[in-house]
Structure 1
Amino acid sequence: MMLEALAKELAAHPSIRGKLDIAASTKALGLSAAAVGRPGDDAAAIKCPEGGWDLFAGEGFMTQFVNDDPWFAGWCGVMVNLSDIAAMGGRATALLNTLWAPDVATAQPLLKGLKDAAVAYGIPIVGGHTNLRTTELNLSVSVLGHARQLISSFTANAGDVLIAAIDHRGHYRPRFDNWCAALDAPHDRLRGDYELLPLLAEAGLVQSGKDISQGGIAGTALMLAECSRCGFDIDLEAIPRPDGVEIGRWLRTFPSFGFLLSVDPAKATSVCKAFEARNISAVAIGHATDNAQINFKHEGSRATFWNYGIAPYLSLAKEASHA
């Protein structure tokens, strides 16, 4: 493996570099990590006077993805939002969708995907906005949820163990780096898997992590590190992969169920066992450091994937506390 070449290839990949757009929006809106809801987390967390946090998140989809695979895009509208809520240690309560399409017939597969996923995950779609007079198909979906105890992107600390928890029971969808392990799963298993994250948070085992999103393990580790103002050394030999998947693709893959968790070393075994009890791969793949680098390690070699101290990624900082 040419480690330096792999690191450079990933740092230049569109799925990694797409997250750089976030900084432009937060700058234009005057937002920072100290803003209400803490931009940079997987969902906005609003403290409730009676205890816990209300959670609010949303996803907009790439036009090409929606038009190439509208049913799956609808399914993902549900799935990725529920993942964002779980990543915060929460439970989702309801979804809203916004749909654009040229006519009813074009919208039908997308709407069916939304409905099928909502039934599978047991989450109500309570409304939204529909426009059937546009030139092309597109979708955004928002979600509400609640957390008793938070998992946050801003609480990782040097010395933590970095755990990758990913469901390998799936396959890639055509043309994209989307690993789907949900479509053939029993509905009760899907719902139980998302319950793991709030249970781990409420047990005091996990307080820091992120849903593995577009950008995969590499990009998500970078976002988690920059928010928490730490770094990560990631051991590529420690990362389990589905059969036949090469490491570069797996590092940028967007899994249907995948989380990076930065955990106290004393709690890492218990966390991994909780996922393994549900047949989900959960492995320590590295550790948090006190610098601004995401480094890859392999067979004694080391290469820097990204240094956010030199090249900021989200341009958000560890400036405030949810507590």
Structure 2
Amino acid sequence: MAHGLWVTLGLWVACGLWVACGLWMTRGLWMTCGLWVACGLWVACGLWMTLGLWVACGLWVACGLWVACGLWVALGLWVACGLWVACGLWVALGLWVACGLWVALGLWVACGLWVALGLWVACGLWVVCGVWVGAGFWVWVGSVACGGRGAVTDLVPALVGPQFMVEPAEELGGYHALRRRVFVDEQGLFELHDRDERDEDPRTVVLVARSARGELLGGVRVGPAADGPDIGWWQGGRLVVDPAARGTLGIGPALVRAACAYAESAGALRFDATVQRRNEPMFRRLGWQPVRHVAVAGRPHTLMRWPMRRLAALAAATKNPLGELLDGMAPGGKGFVGDDGAPVPGSDLIAACDAILPSMVERDPDWAGWCAVLVNVNDLAAMGAAPVGLLNAVGARDAAHAARILGGLRRASAAYGIPILGGHTQLGVPAALSATALGRTDRPVPGGGGRPGQRVRLTADLGGGWRPGYGGRQWDSTSGRTPAELQRMQSFVGRARPAAAKDVSMAGVAGTLGMLAEASGCGALLDVARVPRPAAASAGDWLTCFPGFAMLTAGPLGDGDAGPAVTADCGELVPGRGVRLRWPDGEITGALEADVTGLGRAS
């Protein structure tokens, strides 16, 4: 259309007048020889006839489709008063509402635009197969106009479009064939095929979108980005959508979101994708961040990164509120801020206190009792203190439940060589458990004694496995150890005498390192590939779980023998704030952007 003129299929429309083949049409009628004629359609005596379509007295009959008094009956589908009934489903005003988008059986309505199988509707104008329809006139190739044989029933497929779901692929032949059709035949990115080493990696997972009829609509692959052990660096790629399904169903964005969710659930801490430059806006809208421009197969691409927030979310849930909550209390005393234990003024005693999650006490009372001892002796160990005794407070619904809690306490106290000095027991109340431990050292090791430039080490017991019922959250490396092994690990910090030390607990490895760095007045870099980790734990799980026994230290170590635990140099303290992750390819990604507790630097 130009300057108010519409041109389609040899028809001109201007100022409400139609001109075709020397014939004039006004008000929708063609006039010649006293007869109104339009593309084989005759109008005489008030009757319209075209290819079996009759219009008389307000009744329409076309290819078995009846229209009378506003009622449509077509292929078992009824339309009355703007309501559609099809296959037992009601659709008001012909629109489905889902996720804030009006969807009419495969027809999308957003921002005032309707898109259905290549049919666009905007501002009251319909465009079908490159033909414009306006002011109530339809010009449709193969339809009533121009002598075609189609009828209104041709719209039914647009109103019965497929829905889809995303799932892991059981067979890959269709996905690989679709990739070849798009990346080789259509786009010419590759000459013969687009297969690479990631396709041969058994850890690579392909997610596919399929219609309700099982038709392959698109796919994407995700998996570890490098050979060797999975260190939490994942990569997505080969995102492809069938050309016939592009643009209307949101298949591409759905596959991208599914890939992100899959990578996070697999424990990834970094998720990258190299995307064609024209697809960058879509990834930005989905929350991805551009890293830099690159070239793939000689074509412009952008390296994009999905922001993994797992580490920051854990710190926010467990430690971020502490600064405000403890404002004015000055816990720990001079030189000790956010430490695992507190020096008792005027003595060589160190006091530590921990509470166990009530839900854990309720459902696993024996393990809760063991952990009440475990977490307290770990706190003492981080300060370099030898355990002296333990006090506990137990709440239980009845005596039988209290006995199971105390049974776990009794076993752990014997294993760690720390006597239970006393406590308090309350029956007939909701499950609860807390314990306070006392230890001795004349030279406590602070958590805030580190300085920029010092190396960071993790000493961890990698034995054992996930506690049943706590997969990905609690690593049980202690219940199977001998008393001699447990006590050797507990004395490690006292013998090694690092500049700073902290016990890894609720905040995980990354969060605990952030606390050590915050108290030391600096930031930290963690070399992900160098963190000692059990083979059965993903990187994401290991850096966020409670690991049984694990100590982070900064500065030189003296006696580094930690018994069955292993020690690895895996980072450094640096100027700044927060914690960042360093990867084998030299990339650095954010983990914790600011201080963890808000308690500040130890004086």
The TM-score with structure 2 as length reference comes to 0.48
- Choose which of 220, 226, 238 in structure 1 pairs with 2:530: 238
Q: Kindly provide the CA deviation profile for residues 269-288 of structure 1, in whole angstroms up to 9, marking residues without a partner as x.
A: x55x423xx23110011100
Q: Kindly provide the CA deviation profile for residues 89-119 of structure 1, in whole angstroms up to 9, marking residues without a partner as x.
A: 1111010000111211111111100000001
Alpha-carbon separation, structure 1, partners of 2:564 and 2:449: 27
- Choose which of 402, 407, 420 in structure 2 pairs with 1:107: 402
Partner of 1:10 in structure 2? Answer: 311
Alpha-carbon separation, structure 1, partners of 2:319 and 2:538: 23
**In structure 2, what residue type is equivalent to 1:193?**
M
Cα deviation, residue 16, structure 1: 5.4
Alpha-carbon separation, structure 1, partners of 2:432 and 2:335: 26
Indicate conservation of the 8 Å contact 1:37/1:44, yes or no: no
**In structure 2, what residue type is equivalent to 1:42?**
D
Q: Is 1:61 aligned to residue 346 of structure 2?
A: no
Q: Evaluate the alpha carbon distance shift between residue 319 and residue 83 of structure 1 in structure 2; reply closer, same or farther with a 3 A threshold.
A: closer
Q: For residue 10 of structure 1, give the secondary structure of its aligned residue in structure 2.
A: helix
Q: Kindly provide the CA deviation profile for residues 135-166 of structure 1, in whole angstroms up to 9, marking residues without a partner as x.
A: x2110000111112221111110011100000
Alpha-carbon separation, structure 2, partners of 1:281 and 1:192: 12
Q: Is 1:164 aligned to residue 164 of structure 2?
A: no
Indicate conservation of the 8 Å contact 1:23/1:313, yes or no: no
Indicate conservation of the 8 Å contact 2:525/2:574, yes or no: yes
Q: Is 1:45 aligned to residue 339 of structure 2?
A: no
The 5 Å alignment of 1:17-32 reads 17-27=317-327, 30-32=328-330
Tell me the number of residue pairs that the alignment of Structure 1 and Structure 2 aligns: 299
Indicate conservation of the 8 Å contact 2:511/2:596, yes or no: no
Partner of 1:98 in structure 2? Answer: 393
Q: Evaluate the alpha carbon distance shift between residue 317 and residue 17 of structure 1 in structure 2; reply closer, same or farther with a 3 A threshold.
A: same
Alpha-carbon separation, structure 1, partners of 2:405 and 2:331: 34
Q: Is 1:286 aligned to residue 586 of structure 2?
A: no
Alpha-carbon separation, structure 1, partners of 2:360 and 2:400: 18
Cα deviation, residue 225, structure 1: 1.0
Alpha-carbon separation, structure 1, partners of 2:460 and 2:589: 24
Q: Kindly provide the CA deviation profile for residues 28-56 of structure 1, in whole angstroms up to 9, marking residues without a partner as x.
A: xx22367468341100113546xxx3201
Partner of 2:589 in structure 1? Answer: 303
Alpha-carbon separation, structure 2, partners of 1:35 and 1:71: 35
Indicate conservation of the 8 Å contact 2:366/2:408, yes or no: yes
Alpha-carbon separation, structure 2, partners of 1:34 and 1:59: 15
Cα deviation, residue 168, structure 1: 0.3
Q: Is 1:314 aligned to residue 600 of structure 2?
A: no
Cα deviation, residue 234, structure 1: 0.6
Alpha-carbon separation, structure 2, partners of 1:301 and 1:199: 36
Cα deviation, residue 88, structure 1: 0.3
Indicate conservation of the 8 Å contact 2:332/2:339, yes or no: no
Alpha-carbon separation, structure 1, partners of 2:375 and 2:519: 21
Q: Kindly provide the CA deviation profile for residues 170-199 of structure 1, in whole angstroms up to 9, marking residues without a partner as x.
A: 111133311111111111211122122212
Indicate conservation of the 8 Å contact 1:33/1:318, yes or no: no
**In structure 2, what residue type is equivalent to 1:26?**
L
Q: For residue 41 of structure 1, give the secondary structure of its aligned residue in structure 2.
A: coil
Indicate conservation of the 8 Å contact 2:337/2:519, yes or no: no
Indicate conservation of the 8 Å contact 2:335/2:448, yes or no: no
Indicate conservation of the 8 Å contact 2:581/2:589, yes or no: yes
Indicate conservation of the 8 Å contact 2:337/2:600, yes or no: no
Partner of 2:443 in structure 1? Answer: 149
**In structure 2, what residue type is equivalent to 1:94?**
G
Alpha-carbon separation, structure 1, partners of 2:432 and 2:423: 14
Q: Evaluate the alpha carbon distance shift between residue 6 and residue 125 of structure 1 in structure 2; reply closer, same or farther with a 3 A threshold.
A: farther
The 5 Å alignment of 1:114-193 reads 114-134=409-429, 136-176=430-470, 177-193=473-489
Partner of 2:21 in structure 1? Answer: none
What is the percent sequence identity of the aligned residues?
Answer: 29
Alpha-carbon separation, structure 2, partners of 1:37 and 1:245: 36
Q: Extract unaligned runs of 5+ from structure 1.
A: none
Cα deviation, residue 10, structure 1: 2.0
Alpha-carbon separation, structure 1, partners of 2:313 and 2:547: 20
Which one has the bigger strand percentage?
Answer: 2
Q: For residue 252 of structure 1, give the secondary structure of its aligned residue in structure 2.
A: coil
Alpha-carbon separation, structure 2, partners of 1:167 and 1:248: 17
Partner of 2:520 in structure 1? Answer: 228
Larger radius of gyration: 2
Indicate conservation of the 8 Å contact 1:37/1:45, yes or no: no
Q: For residue 20 of structure 1, give the secondary structure of its aligned residue in structure 2.
A: coil
- Choose which of 179, 194, 217 in structure 1 pairs with 2:490: 194
Q: For residue 274 of structure 1, give the secondary structure of its aligned residue in structure 2.
A: coil
**In structure 2, what residue type is equivalent to 1:286?**
G
Alpha-carbon separation, structure 2, partners of 1:144 and 1:33: 16
Indicate conservation of the 8 Å contact 2:467/2:475, yes or no: yes
Q: Evaluate the alpha carbon distance shift between residue 5 and residue 226 of structure 1 in structure 2; reply closer, same or farther with a 3 A threshold.
A: farther
Alpha-carbon separation, structure 1, partners of 2:333 and 2:547: 29
Moved over 6 A (4+): none
Indicate conservation of the 8 Å contact 2:335/2:446, yes or no: no
Q: For residue 153 of structure 1, give the secondary structure of its aligned residue in structure 2.
A: coil
Q: For residue 485 of structure 2, give the secondary structure of its aligned residue in structure 1.
A: helix
The TM-score with structure 1 as length reference comes to 0.87
**In structure 1, what residue type is equivalent to 2:598?**
S
Tell me: higher relative CO, structure 1 or 2? Use CA pairs within 8 A at least 6 residues apart. Answer: 1
Indicate conservation of the 8 Å contact 1:26/1:32, yes or no: yes
**In structure 1, what residue type is equivalent to 2:317?**
R
Partner of 2:511 in structure 1? Answer: 219
